[in-house]
Every structure is written in C-alpha cells, then in structure tokens.
Amino acid sequence: MAGNNQYHIVSASFGKDSTAMLLLMIEKEMPIDCVIFADTGMDFPEMGAHIAKMDKYLYEKRGIHVTTLRNPHSFEWYMFDVPQRQQRAIDRRIANGQPLTGYGWPGMRVRWCTGQLKTHLIEREAKRLKEEKNAVHYIGIAADEAWRCKDNPQKRYPLVEWGITEAQALQICYDRGFDFGGLYEIYNRVSCWCCPLQRIGELRKLRVHHPELWARLRELDDHAREQFGPGPLGQFKQNWSVARLDERFAREEQEGHA
C-alpha cells in the first residue's frame, strides 16, 4: 500500500476494466483523492450515461466527482484543420499534392487521436500531481493484459495485482448494477465509435445498432476522401471506404433475407 502522505490518482476510461478497478478500490476502502477521465468527444452516447452514474456513485461513497480533461480542440479539428508544422511533413504533403492541414484518419502507426485526446492529457495531469503532491497513479489494466504495465514505482495496476481478467472485470461491473447501457452485449470494445482500427464485424454492428453514428462516420470519411484523396490519410480502412462498407453491409443484408 502507498504511504499516507501520498496523493492517490485513479485514471479511468470508464470501460469495463477501469470501472471494475474503481468499484473495487471503493469497496476495499483504498484511498482515492482524484479520478481523472479524458473526454475525446467520440464516445458512445451510452458511455456518457454510464460515466454520470459512476460519478454519482463516487460522490456518494467518497465525496468527490470525476475530473474531466478535454483538449481545447476536437477530433474533427485534428483530423481536418490542424496545421502541419514539421518541414518534412510539409514537403511530403506538397509532393503528394495534399493540403497542409489535418492529420487525416488515424492508423496503427500514427494514432494521433489516442495521443492528443487522451494519453497526453492524462499523463500531463498525472505528472503535475506527482510532482506537486507525491502522487501514486492507479491504472485499470486487466491481468490478461499485464504486458502493458510499466515498471514505475509511482504507477499501480490493481487488477493485475488481484489477478482479475477482462471477463471477470466485466462481471464485477454487471454484479454491481453497471451495465454500460448494453454496449458490451453488442461490441467487444467500447472505445471511440469512429475508430478505423475496429474490425469489420464491429462496424457492421455499429451500422445496425447506432445508425446515427454510422451516418456521422460516413460524413467524416466522405470529407476525408475529398480533402486528402486516396491513401491512408483519406481512406477509413485499407481497401475500404465507409461508403463501400455501407454497400457491402446492405448487400449482405439483402442476401441474408433472400
């Protein structure tokens, strides 16, 4: 256990793992001084309701509210409007006949969305609190993803310490009445709905269960292809635009009902 002179930060995405961690920390009467959450603006609507429910529970149990961090710029601003500043990137854009603004779609190699809208914000705030208040940082990584943990005395991973897997973490949430509005009954992951790294099956579900988000996704992709043209910046997935996926899914539905 951390010493009594330390400040205790919990960072939470409020998916199943960090939610379970926070619930168990409350139950085990572990010290919690601050809960931080980075709002990307691209979460499922059901996540907003879940976070509000968790915030209410946290206040009832510990008398504190979730601290929400937000980048002053939106996902869309980074995708379409952020100016390129590195000369190498500017030269490459000019050579390819591409505009000098916008990062385009994030990809496996360049996940600017995670960095700009989540990780940088959390790490910056955690670093500030560590320096000012000798803080220890609790992170919700499950035991079956322990390889993601970093060897740092100011970081702790309670679910790994307790041997709790992702499946067990979800059940812990369900057992305590936190069902995420049914998201985990549909999707394997409930991070940003617009993520191009999702599998095709998850996107098929998005089109069926969240048609309003699917429509927004198609608008984003149409804008990206118009601004950046073919290639990784303007293409949602390799070999697949959202429009082509829409056609594919519609065809599959027709064939299934034939």
β 66-69/34-38 pair status: parallel
pLDDT score of 258 more than 80: no
Q: State the chain's mean pLDDT as an integer.
A: 94
Query: Do the beta carbons of residue 110 and residue 86 sit within 8 Å?
Result: no
Mean pLDDT confidence for 86-110 = 91
pLDDT confidence band for 9 (50 / 70 / 90): very high
pLDDT bracket for residue 238 (50, 70, 90): confident
Say if residue 166's pLDDT is above 80: yes
184 pLDDT higher than 80: yes
pLDDT over threshold 60, residue 257: no
pLDDT beyond 90 at 256: no
At residue 161 the predicted structure's pLDDT band, cuts being 50, 70 and 90, is very high
How far from 114 is each of 66, 97, 218, 248, CA to CA, in Å? 20, 27, 21, 29
What stretch of H or E contains 35?
strand 34-38
Residue-wise pLDDT for 38-74, tens only, equals 999 999 999 999 999 999 999 999 999 999 999 999 9
Inform me whether the pLDDT recorded for 180 exceeds 50.
yes
Indicate the pLDDT class of residue 80, thresholds 50, 70 and 90: very high
Residue 59 corresponds to which tokens in the numbers above? 């206040």
Tell me what pLDDT residue 242 has: 96
Residue 38's DSSP bridge partners are 69
Q: Which among 129, 37, 112, 36 is positioned nearest to 73, based on CA atoms? A: 112
Question: What is the CB neighbour count within 10 angstroms for residue 201?
Answer: 10
**What pLDDT band is residue 209 in, cutting at 50, 70 and 90?**
very high
Tens digit of each residue's pLDDT (9 = 90 or more) over 100-143: 999 999 988 889 999 999 999 999 999 999 999 989 999 999 99
Section 146-154 average pLDDT: 91
Q: What is the mean pLDDT of residues 173-178?
A: 98
Please tell me the distance from the alpha carbon of residue 228 to that of residue 80, in angstroms, as a whole number: 9
Tell me, what's the pLDDT at 75?
Answer: 97
Would the pLDDT of 3 be above 50?
A: no
